[in-house]
Amino acid sequence: MNASSAVATRGASVTPEPSGTAARLIYRHTLPIRIMHWINVIALTLMLFSGLQIFNAHPYLYWGNRSDQGTAWLAMDAHQDAAGNLVGTTRIGQHQVNSTGVLGVSKGSDGTPVARGFPSWLTVPSAGWLAMGRRWHFFFAWVFVLNGLCYISYSIARRHLQRDMWPTRADWRGIGRSILDHIRFRHPHGAEALRYNILQRLAYLTVIFIFGVGIVLMGLAMSPRMDAVLSPLVEAVGGRQSARSIHFIVAWAFVAFVLIHVFEVLISGVFNQLRGMITGYYKVDAVVPEPVEPAVPADPVVAEPAPIAEDPRHE
């Protein structure tokens, strides 16, 4: 809170300053959105880490339908150097780097180097138990799918998607300014902070409808039982190995989104943002007009508590 602001909480009195800014708490995110958001965070995190455990069973990715030796476009390998030490390498296409300690070779539970794609601190439920990794992955995949379907249905029914996420013409016109604001780390604080800007809208829509739908479809396309139903899709992407590669790439696209998303939360007022997504209430600064001198001196008046506003535009 800055020096010239006043806090408005439920039932508490407010002491407005003569002029400057005052803070208001706005009910911004409804309970279902908040619950679904945090379920999604847990499901995605566990899906990523159990997915890496499954990947470790064969840390190579191919394109097409076949997985012939030497044809992988991504490979995490281990070999011994002249001194007998285990060396981990990661190759993407023709480019290979020494990734010992993280990819290809990392420390096992007893501290000695072990040949393994991703390190054990990035895999759940254990360092290398394929069957259990698959169980975890499929369980949280169902949580993610059902939660996502509830989120999309709820957002359409409550017009959250149409009102708060779908870009308006004015949003498109302001895209240049929004990009500049992001580059300069400038974030709105007043009422403007209540609506998602164009870049946020595009990011959320991409994550929900391209990454979310894409990763689920590619996961299903890899499943032998879904082959018959999804064979046109498998063919369209070039085969089951391509589906596995796309699934892996989209998983890391999710990670990139989350890193940027959390970075934006951190730099745009982490406490306020988290309070918004946990309790629903978000603080905005509102401009308080200069006091007008009364013509006749009045009796002192006790300031009314500022109401907690409902923001009709935002779920």
Rank residues 87 and 175 by Cβ distance to ligand HEM and give the closer one.
175
Q: Which residue number, 92 or 262, has a Cβ lying nearer to ligand HEM?
A: 262
Interaction mask 154-193, ligand HEM, x per CB under 6 A? ----------------------------------------
Q: Which is nearer to ligand HEM, 128 or 181 (CB)?
A: 181
The reply on whether position 120 binds ligand HEM by CB under 6 A is no
Judged by beta carbon, residue 55 or residue 151, the one nearer ligand HEM is: 151
35 binds ligand HEM (CB under 6 A): no
Q: Cβ closer to ligand HEM: 62 or 144?
A: 144
The 3-state DSSP class for residue 242 equals helix
CA distance 247 to 239: 12
Q: What are phi and psi of 299, to 5 degrees?
A: -70, 150
243/303 Cα distance (integer angstroms): 63
* Spatial separation of the C-alpha atoms in residues 224 and 205, rounded to whole Å: 30
What is the rounded CA–CA span in Å between residue 247 and residue 54?
12
Query: Does residue 33 interact with ligand HEM by CB under 6 A?
Result: yes
Residues in the chain: 315
Q: Which of 284, 288, 287 is nearest to 303 (CA)?
A: 288
Rule CB under 6 A: choose which of 49, 140, 144, 254 binds ligand HEM: 254
* Site size with ligand HEM, rule: CB under 6 A: 18
Enter the DSSP assignment of 208.
I
Q: How far is CA 276 from CA 186, 269, 280, in A?
A: 19, 11, 4
State the minimum distance, in angstroms, from the CB of residue 151 to ligand HEM: 7
Strands (DSSP E) contained in the chain are 20-27, 60-61, 74-80, 86-92, 95-98, 104-107, 113-116, 281-288, 309-310
Closest CA to 281 of 187, 194, 163: 194
Q: According to CB under 6 A, which residues from 88 to 117 bind ligand HEM?
A: none
Please report whether residue 138 would count as binding ligand HEM according to CB under 6 A.
Answer: no
Among 1-9, 59-67, 127-135, 200-208, the segment contacting ligand HEM (CB under 6 A)? 200-208
- The residue within the footprint of ligand HEM, chosen from 5, 276, 281, 284 (CB under 6 A), is 276
| Interface pick for ligand HEM out of 86, 143, 207, 308 (rule CB under 6 A) | 207
Q: Does 277 contact ligand HEM by CB under 6 A?
A: yes
The correct pick among 9, 27, 37, 269 for binding ligand HEM (CB under 6 A) is: 37
Q: Are 139 and 47 in contact (CB under 8 A)?
A: no
Torsion from C-alpha of 38, 41, 47, 49, nearest 10 degrees: -130
Write out the binding residues for ligand HEM, residues 255-274 only, by CB under 6 A.
257-258, 261-262, 265, 273-274
Give the interface with ligand HEM as residue ranges (CB under 6 A): 33, 37, 40-41, 44, 204, 207-208, 254, 257-258, 261-262, 265, 273-274, 276-277
